[in-house]
Structure 1
Amino acid sequence: MEFPPRKVSEDEIIAFAREYDPQPFHLDKEAAKRSLFGGLCASGWHTAGIMMRLLVDNMIGSAASMGSPGVDQLRWVKPVRPDDTLFLKGEIIAVKPSQSKPDRGVITTRYEMRNQNGEIVLTMQAKGMYRRRSAGGTAPA
């Protein structure tokens, strides 16, 4: 699965950081220059939030999603900078029907987000619970 690109602005990096991750390298250009990041960068949680928005807008929102039992792995590989354009790809790696509830199953997906230079900025492996189609081919109500 490939998702539409998403450009990240400096204003949204700072706004997210003010609200949820107020560390100097997410908030202040000058402080960020002196940090190990060498410049302003998005919170990893902001990057994960962008990924979630792409998933909901382009896949989960139109699927028979029933939530998620959790994330198995999440890595912030490289900082996301102002004006980066992010590209998300996902690959289903496992499908497991529920043994106790035949109306649902769990899909394990591996995601990779890259910037405009092709550099990996985030990887995640997560499980999603989805309604299953009935034997007749339609999803249960």
Structure 2
Amino acid sequence: MRHNILVLVLLLLVFYSCINSVEDCNSHSFEVTATAYNSLAYQTSSNPHITAFGDSLKPGLRYIAVSRDLLDSGLVHNTKVTIEGFDSLFIVKDKMNKRWRKRIDIYMGLDVKKAKKWGKKKVNIEFCIQPKDSISN
């Protein structure tokens, strides 16, 4: 009985925090050009599993790199992003060369065929920026 009450209290706390984070969210959306990349030296750098933010890429996880203009728009490191055509969230873990604008690069591990099949597409993305005052709470 005591265990059930503890579980119920924890679930209510999680639910309450989710409601607050959604209410406090400033949603943004953009149409971007989406390409794909792999953890291969010829596509990235001599250390292809380390991002420009210093994170380690792990094949199978849903990461994206973003153009620097999108960073300036609030799409910063570790932001969760929905991408049109996908059913799960992606996380910003890398940033692209300065020459790119309004662009994301979807991480596809070591699967070069999958990345080439994706090609280059226009997609809509959506993400949430938490107001500064709600982050400190």
Do the two structures share a fold, i.e. TM-score over 0.5?
A: no
TM normalised by structure 2 equals 0.28
TM normalised by structure 1 equals 0.28
Highest relative contact order (Cα 8 Å, sep 6+), 1 or 2? Answer: 2
